A and B are shown apart, each in its own frame.
Chain A
Amino acid sequence: MADALSGASGRLRLSVGAGGAILLALPWILVALDEPFFIGVCVRFLAYGLAAAALDLILGYGGLVSFGQAAFFGIGAYTAGVMIHHATDGSVLLAWPIAIGGSTHALLVLPLAALVAAALAAGIGVISLRTGGVYFIMITLAFAQMVYFIVLSFPQYGGTDGLMLMARNAAPGLDLADETTLYYVSLVALAAFLWFGRRLARSRFGMVLRGARENERRMRALGFAIVRYRLAAFVISGAVTGLAGALLANQSGFVSPDLLSWQRSGEIMVMVVLGGMGTLFGPVLGAVALLLLEEVLQGWTEHWMLILGPLLLGVVLFTRGGLWGALSGERAGDG
């Protein structure tokens, strides 16, 4: 992570270091407190944090307001779910031209989830990135809704009821049925993406993305085919969001079309804005804060959204750079 923080302030390094140390020690702390149940809750935080950071790559650095992230999140979750479903009930996923069954192998299913989401992102991105502004928002939303209804139309995978998963992914020495193992796998995936994403943002690729966010025409006149750069970022974001969805499917043991809904896309976007755009770390904090708030407020009142709404508004209005900006001093554009 040190390379990704080169030139960072002491406060930023401290925030990242403290956050990393807490996340590393969290399962032990929860076991010591006799609250192992919360390890699963934390996996949820990490999965959503990964999805939010992936959105931040295109939203915070690229200025692309994608309202279709739930499509990648859900398709990643369903890829894992469908593979596990066929593996556990012994049925075939594809009968023709060659018979393909399901699998629970983590090293096959998790990359496959990322790959399927990447392919979907490539298809959506090729068309939607030819537009801009509000048209881009609407077209990504429209594609996500299409995927939502396509998934609904498969009764063998539960339709509106969703699909219960009878197993989790596993690999030799890596059984994700163990909550702590799943937690650390999720943490490694998140840390790897944060490291990679920060490096990417500082590379020429990232400079082109950030520059095009400020002035697309100028960047083109300097010799860059902007759509290609944005498409690459969109595909990376989609792949990572798909992986996040697969991790969440493992944690919850259940996938449903709700994961693909436009509300889910909005929720991921709120996490990014709440945490602080263009930092990658911020959206992870935003995901943790939002999910924690939801958990706590739901315990207090059934009208929890009435409290959550003004709280979110307050953070957006009164903290420059979101929660992460307030904590670490880092804001979008700080590189």
Chain B
Amino acid sequence: MLELHEIETFYGDSQALFGVSIAVAAGEAVALLGRNGMGKTTTVRSIIGVRAPRRGTVRIAGQDVTGWPSHRIARLGVGLVPEGREIFPTLTVRENLLVTARTRGAGAWTLDRVFDLFPRLSQRAGQFGNRLSGGEQQMLAIGRALMINPDLLVLDEATEGLAPLVRAEIWAVLAQLKAERLAILVIDKDVHALAQLVDRHYVIEKGRIVWSGQSDALLADIELLHTRLGV
């Protein structure tokens, strides 16, 4: 579904990613781990076309999308839940969801399905985005990404700054989405919650992938957790 091959991304003359390679197969959930400032968000930006890599390739659904504008990449079925949620504050909850609604075949995500997934959003359908709590905004950001009917869901800092109960709700929803065979690339700092959810992990440090493997191996590697992830 997603394949990054040796991508190198820059901010001006400053190189942020050094030959990053990541793959997410259809129906697979993958985590990208790392401390702050190591290149996780830059990797996401490179995937969605906001910061095109100077070298290397980004392939989505088999197509080389390197250098494509972000709106074309989104139309290939990439739903992004951005860091900071970035919901539209002066659009209502309903409008935030409907604006991205795109039908892509059977089993499509609809307003009703998103409201079934997040009943709290249905209760606040007429409220403006800036009137929601942080947890509700995160639910809305996930719902908005689902309304694209994505084949790949990318979540940047999925549960950052949320209360424990809300975080548990978000993790439960992501598990449900994974069970529905949606490909997921998730960035978060909660290694133990991620280990329950995803199939594989990548650890990024100073713009390079320094480790990849499965949850059991990650949790067993105390030194990796301590030195590279600060757990």
A residues contacting B by CB (< 8 A) are 7, 204, 207-208, 210-211, 213-215, 217-226, 332-333, 335
Contact = CB atoms under 8 A, between A and B. Distances in A.
B88 A210 contact: yes
B148 A223 contact: yes
Given A211-B91, A218-B88, A222-B148, 4 more contacts: A219-B88, A221-B70, A221-B71, A222-B99
Interface in B50-67: 50
A220 B50 CA distance: 9
Interface stretch (B34-42, B74-82, B113-121, B169-177): B74-82
The prevalent SS among residues of B at the interface is: loop
Contacts of B161: none
Interface centre among B69, B86, B96 (most CB of A within 10 A): B86
A215 B80 CA distance: 14
A221 B91 contact: no
B229 to A, nearest CB: 27
- Give the 9 A-B CB pairs with smallest separation, nearest first: A333-B90, A223-B74, A207-B99, A211-B88, A221-B70, A223-B75, A218-B86, A220-B70, A220-B71
Nearest to B147: A222
B92 interface: yes
Contacts of B101: 204
A223 B71 contact: yes
A194 to B, nearest CB: 20
A213 to B, nearest CB: 8
Interface residues of B, number: 27
B43 to A, nearest CB: 15
21 contacts: A7-B126, A204-B99, A204-B101, A207-B95, A207-B98, A210-B88, A210-B91, A210-B95, A211-B88, A211-B96, A215-B86, A217-B50, A218-B82, A220-B69, A220-B70, A221-B48, A222-B74, A222-B99, A223-B74, A223-B148, A335-B92
Given A211-B99, A215-B86, A217-B50, A224 B91 contact: no
B88 A221 contact: no
A208 B98 CA distance: 10
A61 B48 CA distance: 26
Which residue, A207, A208, A224, has most C-beta atoms of chain B within 10 A? A207
Interface in B90-138: 90-92, 95-96, 98-102, 126, 128
A interface: dominant SS: helix
B213 interface: no
A333 B128 contact: yes
A208 B91 CA distance: 10
A297 B75 CA distance: 56
Contacts of A335: 92, 95
Nearest to A225: B71
A225 B95 CA distance: 18
Contacts of B69: 220, 225
Contacts of A219: 88
Q: Which of A213, A225, A226 has the most CB of B within 10 A?
A: A225
B208 interface: no
Contacts of B80: 221-222
B99 A214 contact: no
Contacts of A223: 71, 74-75, 100, 102, 148
Contacts of A210: 88, 90-91, 95
Contacts of A221: 48-50, 70-71, 74, 80, 82
Contacts of B98: 204, 207
